[in-house]
Each structure stands twice: as C-alpha cells, then as structure tokens.
Amino acid sequence: MFRSLLGIILWYLRPLMKWFLRKTTRLCELQRLCYGEKAGAPRSLRVENSLLQSRSGDIKNLIVFLDRISDGRKFIGTNKDSITHYAIHTVLRVKKINPQIHPQFGISFAKCIEHIWGYRQLIQEVEVLRTTPYDANNESHETKLLTLWELMMPSVQLESRVTKQWQDIGFQGDDPKTDFRGMGLLGLENLLYFAQEYPGPASHVLSHSHHPQYGYAFAVVGINLTSMAYHMLKDGSAKSHVYNVSQGLPTIKVFHHFYCYLFYEFDRFWIEAKPRNVMDFSHIREKFENTIRLSLSKPASVFRINISIDNI
C-alpha cells in the first residue's frame, strides 16, 4: 500500500523534478542518462524507462512506431539506420537539443534505441522458432537433428533414424521429434548451437549426464532450459545481460549464448546439489532459476561460460 502511494506521489512530482534538473543542469533527462550512465544495460534500461514514462504525445507515437517496426522484424539493415535516425531527430526536436552543441547525445542514444527495440525484435525471432514444430518430413530439420547426434556422439554410428540410441544423448524415446513439442524448433537450435560452438563444454556436460548417481537426460534437460531462457527473454529479465553483451543490435546468437551459459551452469549447479534422484529436478531447477534471476536483476550482469574441468 505504501509503495503504491509513493509511486503515485513520484509520478505527479516527476515533471517538477525534471523541470528543476533541466533548469539547473541545462540538460533534459535523456541527455543526463546518456552522459551519466555507463554504456550497456545501466544506460539503456534507464533510457527505456524514461521513454516509457514520457508524457509527450510525439514520444508516445514514436514508441508505438518503433514497436510496430520491431514486431514486424523490420528493424534491420539500412531500414534500421533510417529508423534510428528518425528516432534521434524526433527526440532532438521534442527535447529542443542542439545536435551541434551535443553531438555525442545522438551517438549514445542510437545505441540505446538499437538495444531496446533490437531486444523486442529478438523476442519475435525467437518466438518464430519456438512456434515452428519439428517436422520429420522437413529435410532441414532432419539434417540438424542428425548433425546433433554426430557432434555429441562422433565415434558412434546411428543405427537408424528411429532407435533407442537417442536415449544416449538424453531423449526420452526412440524418436526425438516428440521431445520438441514444447519448444518447437527452438529446442533443437539451442542444443545444436551448444554442440557446435562449445564442443568441449557440451561433451563435458553430456558426460555428467551419464553419471551413475547424478545422471540426467541431457537433451530433455536442455529443452527444459530452452524454456527457461525463452521466458526470461520474454518477460524482460534477460535485458541486463543482452544489453551488456550487444555492441549494437541484439541477434539470435546472443540468445543462443545465453542458453549455452544456462546449460553449462545448470550442470554444475545440479552436480553440486548432489540430487538423490531425478525427482529432485523441479526443486533444483527452481533454485537455479531464482539464482539466475537474482543475477540478472543487477544492471552490470554479464554471463559468460567459465570453462573448468573436474573429475566428477
């Protein structure tokens, strides 16, 4: 109740505070943020919040326009450049900022635009993969699945397309296609990216999944972690990491890297938890997710795989 009341008071006082700061610093709020906040998530998150709280009709219309462009996945290439230029010009006009006197503002603000609406566009790109069902009649899908086997089990020949051998890399049955139902093609793309870009860590994690006491289903857990990564991306929790690692427009590779980090760290988290059996999975997964979300709540958050070898 108190927080809600405080929020309402601050909402009404905000214009007065902004007016006072502009008079004393001769800079608008967006300028103060672009000049005063560290590049990456600390700056882009604050700029995003400032834009969303703006009472200017022109700024509100700009946000609607940028949302529509990113939702249509058209914030790319030369189109991205012209749209970013338009956004900067709109803000310069509305905030009465002289670009000759403040040339750095446009450069810094442009990066924030790329982060904010590139992230929104990334959600759409990931969503397309998630809602694309695995199709055994699609040659491209089948090729990716077989490539996953070759990368994870390079010294073992697959006897046939439908075989119990798939359980060796953690699928539930004889045909992996049934395990992709929840996350669609996104689950396969994540697993394949992990195996291709991080062959050492992926092999390391697979070996842990075969542990006689702490073993688990590698592929099934991987798809479950795809779900975790997807929901963190969609609810905005992953913004701090994505903004910090993206020099420009966030790409699908950023999401794949985020997933690889989650898989590698979950494996370590699982082993250290010393589970009694696979029935502990839900509890340990929840603890792991809470740990990740806590880290993501910090604007300086950056996730990178820290490769270490153990004898578990």
What would you report as the CA-atom Rg of the chain, rounded to the nearest whole angstrom?
A: 23
The one-letter amino acid at 102: H
The confidence score (pLDDT) of residue 308 equals 54
The pLDDT tens digits of the residues spanning 198-250 come to 999 999 999 999 999 999 999 999 999 999 999 999 999 999 999 999 998 99
Let me know: does 245 contact 230? Beta carbons within 8 Å: no
Let me know: does 284 contact 270? Beta carbons within 8 Å: yes
| pLDDT over threshold 80, residue 194 | yes
Residue 5 confidence class, pLDDT cut points 50, 70, 90: low
The pLDDT tens digits of the residues spanning 118-140 come to 999 999 999 999 999 999 999 99
Residue 301 confidence class, pLDDT cut points 50, 70, 90: very high
Nearest to 81 by CA among 221, 209, 249, 200: 249
Q: Give the pLDDT mean for 165-182.
A: 95
When the pLDDT of each residue in the chain is averaged and rounded to a whole number, the result is 91
Select the more confidently predicted residue: 165 or 24: 165
Q: Give the pLDDT mean for 256-268.
A: 97
The confidence score (pLDDT) of residue 15 equals 63
> What sign does the dihedral 204-206-212-217 (CA atoms) show?
positive
8-state DSSP, 242: H
Select the more confidently predicted residue: 152 or 15: 152
Task: Report the alpha-carbon distance of residue 76 to residue 69 in Å, rounded.
Answer: 10
Q: What pTM was computed for the model?
A: 0.89
Task: Report the alpha-carbon distance of residue 264 to residue 209 in Å, rounded.
Answer: 12
Domain ranges of the chain: 26-130, 139-296
Task: Report the alpha-carbon distance of residue 101 to residue 88 in Å, rounded.
Answer: 15
The confidence score (pLDDT) of residue 6 equals 47
DSSP secondary structure string for all residues of 268-307: HHHHHH--SSGGGHHHHHHHHHHHHHHHHTSTT-------
The pLDDT tens digits of the residues spanning 80-114 come to 999 999 999 999 999 999 999 999 999 999 999 99
Residues 6+ apart with CB under 8 A from 114: 80, 84, 246, 248, 249
| Element holding 43 (H helix, E strand) | helix 41-52
Percent of the residues in the chain that have a pLDDT greater than 70, as a whole number: 90
The one-letter amino acid at 188: L
Q: Which long-range contacts (CB under 8 A, 24 or more apart) does 76-80 make?
A: 76/121, 76/249, 80/114, 80/249
